[in-house]
A and B are shown apart, each in its own frame.
Chain A
Amino acid sequence: MNAQLQPTGSAYFIAKETEKPENHTLSVLVDNEPGVLARVIGLFSGRGYNIESLTVSETEHEKHLSRITIVTRGTPHVLEQIKHQLERIVPVHRVVDLTVRSQELGQERPLERELALVKVAGTGEARVEALRLADAFRASVIDANTEHFIFEITGKGSKLDQFIAIMKPLGLVEICRTGVAAMNRGPQGM
């Protein structure tokens, strides 16, 4: 939280931050080599930036390229710094602030989706209710016996939050979320 108050300026002449922090989603294209994720994460912790969500996977196997999607929070000035600092990392090919890009394209925000696995245990009325709600949320059952379900649900983070909140009184046991995958609408690549 301190990072909000004291962004990249000096620790010695601290000026009050007047800009408002925003959530932005960054796409980072990197060489998939040992340590590359540690470099990215280390940059965030070392410089006091926030990570709200992070996903990473190799996306182009022949070129050994991975795409890292980071949701971060900061003032516009800090967000610009984060982008430039990421670009300094040697195995980083490209950094795109999807949120800025979507605004340039005249859209509200980039497409963002997340997947969650949600385990719910229970019998009787609660169990029926859980299944009914899952159906309403278009969550699919991927494992079940007479005492539990595991639901797979995909959507915006807010939808997942809502689904999980509803499952809580119905015997919620375990949650696993992937973090945000994102890209911009339209025909252009990143």
Chain B
Amino acid sequence: MSNGQNERREMTGAEMVVQALKDNGVKHVFGYPGGAVLPIYDEIFQQDEVEHILVRHEQGAGHAAEGYARSTGKAGVLLVTSGPGATNAVTPLQDALMDSIPLVCLTGQVPTSLIGSDAFQECDTVGITRPCTKHNWLVKDVNELAATIHEAFHVATTGRPGPVVVDIPKDVQFAKGMYVPPQTAPRTSYQPKVQGDLEKVKAAVELMAGAKKPIIYSGGGVVNSGPEASHLLRELVDLTGFPITSTLMGLGAYPASGKNWVGMLGMHGTYEANMAMHDCDVMVCIGARFDDRITGRLNAFSPNSKKIHIDIDPSSINKNVHTDVPILGDVGRVLEDLVRLWRATAKADKKALYPWWEQIAKWRARDSLAYKMNNDVIMPQYAIQRLYALTKDMDTYITTEVGQHQMWAAQHYHFEKPNRWMTSGGLGTMGYGLPAALGVQIAHPDALVVDIAGDASVQMTMQEMSTAVQYEAPIKIFILNNQYMGMVRQWQQLLHGNRLSHSYTEAMPDFVKLAEAYGGHGIRCDKPDELDDAIREMISVKKPVLFDCRVATLANCFPMIPSGKAHNEMLLPDEATDEAVANAIDAKGRELV
């Protein structure tokens, strides 16, 4: 990796930071300089092994690092200054915590002698970031700096991955001390369990073998566990013949073209996926966490099933939903055992599953993702379908912002591989997608990276267009522009008597001119029959693109499990009349939202 390996030598704290990054295999750092990190920036200037990407706002650095991490499986690294630099990074840190993304965030801090004095650009970084990181450190002694950064990488990338912060006072960056290379002995208190209990795996195989109405429900943990886990998941599905659904975070682990795929589940999941979850007799949850967007009303969630739950985080098991067979361990390792044991002991009786598949086919026939096509106005679902049709055969990565467009993207863009889909699931961070696309493009310079965006979300981190132009990262920002915060409006229609309080954007920038102002390329399209050509233009332009796709302004996202309802009480698109929408959530449900 580098000449720092196995070598203790004296250097300054700032040198150590750069050396530690190299020794941990870091190629790119997203960051923004400031007073308290200048010594580190001085070291970055004097080398070219680690490339620094200068963002326009620290939140952008964080989301870019998330996109980088999610698309490569490696840790994303950001470097920010003290005070406002650190506080601006808080949103992406929490985002990464909720979606289990490995991030290493290095923050500058005022000199140790000034800590606690309300110095210029001082904030209690470790205090502020304690609840939004997996772990964090304030390094007061330069001799502990190298070991701490190595430990930070270890903690961020192992077990259930997550963000970490290393806060480095400026005097520590100047001080000289001993550099130690990465070591293999981690602290004794941190030893994530990766190997599942074989007895439990056996019990799972037994339960699965006897299932008449099984379903596999997989999540982001499969993607996090690495490509081998996705491979094993596919093998397990083939062996068992079970239907499989996935959470928002897990899309791509099993291919959408796979014959056992029933679509995404949850609040805006397909009818067949949610009905199968509700009616199943055995549920195999793999690397997912029974989030409230998935379960709907907990006391009506899949009432008649035995549940198997594979997860690396013991606190995820039995948190929201009682599990009959909990298996604690890394998804990849557990799947390895599960597949092996299934091959050895269980005989898949695929015939026994015929009635179940017939039932699923009936649900599927409801065509829950259907929408009314319009020849004059671009329907948002149609826009995603065309984008998919025209980009699916390319080396494509998709990011999103948060809202209706995100759900439409999840429903209508079909993923064949893991690590191709970057979205803010747990925290629901508007403004995630554009900087995340930047991060993905930095990691994969030759790929097609598209941020499926909404007009409201994209304006939250628009400034990173400037970064994309500077680094010649040709990200495509495909904005489904309906002038509304569409999901907010949808909930106002459902819950608040159609009083659309502040969910309409009266003054929208001209996205084409905005793109040009940044030095990118702007495209506008408002006619369905011109859409394909416009998308082709977007793909062919070798610059960052803002694509202003004017879509039907009042389209809503269906199917939907209204709050307070169960999986089998979905609101389907053909039933979603104005009246049904207005009455979908009763007074009791209204309190719950």
Contacts and interface: CB of A to CB of B under 8 A. Distances in A.
Contacts of A80: 318
Contacts of A8: 319-320
B131 A31 contact: no
A80 B315 CA distance: 8
B592 interface: yes
A35 B127 CA distance: 8
Contacts of B298: 9-10, 13, 15
Interface in B290-305: 291-292, 295-299
A38 B130 contact: yes
Contacts of A39: 130
Contacts of B593: 12
Interface string A11-35: 1111100000000000000110011
B589 to A, nearest CB: 9
A13 B592 contact: yes
A77 B564 contact: no
Given A10-B298, A46-B131, A93-B188, A84 B314 contact: yes
A90 B299 contact: no
Interface residues of B, number: 30
Contact of A12 (B135, B138, B563): B563
B532 interface: no
A87 interface: yes
Contacts of A171: none
A81 B319 contact: yes
A13 B295 contact: yes
Given A9-B292, A90-B189, A15 B134 contact: no
Given A12-B592, A31-B187, A88 B138 contact: no
Chain B CB count within 10 A is highest, among A9, A46, A81, A90, for A90
A15 B296 CA distance: 11
A87 B298 CA distance: 26
Interface in A79-112: 80-81, 84-85, 87-93
Given A15-B299, A35-B126, A93 B292 contact: no
B155 interface: yes
Interface string B121-150: 000001100110011001000000000000
Contacts of A90: 134-135, 155, 187, 189-190
B324 interface: no
A30 B189 CA distance: 8
Contacts of B135: 89-90
Given A9-B298, A15-B298, A42 B130 contact: yes
A38 B189 contact: no
Nearest to A43: B131
B23 interface: no
B526 interface: no
Contacts of B564: 13
Contact of A13 (B130, B131, B292, B314): B292
B319 A92 contact: no
Nearest to B267: A12
Interface string B376-401: 00000000000000000000000000
Nearest to B188: A93
A11 B593 CA distance: 8
A81 B316 CA distance: 9
Nearest to A90: B135
Contacts of A93: 188-189
A47 to B, nearest CB: 9
B296 A13 contact: yes
A181 B190 CA distance: 26
Contacts of A42: 130-131
Contacts of A77: 318
A69 B357 CA distance: 53
Chain B CB count within 10 A is highest, among A9, A12, A77, A87, for A12
Contacts of B318: 77, 80-81
A35 B317 CA distance: 27
A80 B322 CA distance: 12
Contact of A88 (B299, B313, B317): B313
Nearest to A46: B131
Contact of A9 (B155, B189, B320): B320
A189 to B, nearest CB: 16
Contacts of B295: 10, 13
Given A8-B320, A35-B138, 9 more contacts: A10-B291, A15-B299, A35-B126, A42-B131, A81-B318, A84-B314, A85-B315, A90-B134, A93-B189
Q: Which A-B residue pairs are the 9 nearest by beta carbons?
A: A10-B292, A84-B315, A90-B135, A93-B189, A84-B314, A15-B298, A90-B190, A13-B297, A15-B299
5 contacts: A10-B295, A13-B298, A31-B189, A35-B130, A84-B317
Interface of B: 126-127, 130-131, 134-135, 138, 155, 187-190, 291-292, 295-299, 313-315, 317-320, 563-564, 592-593
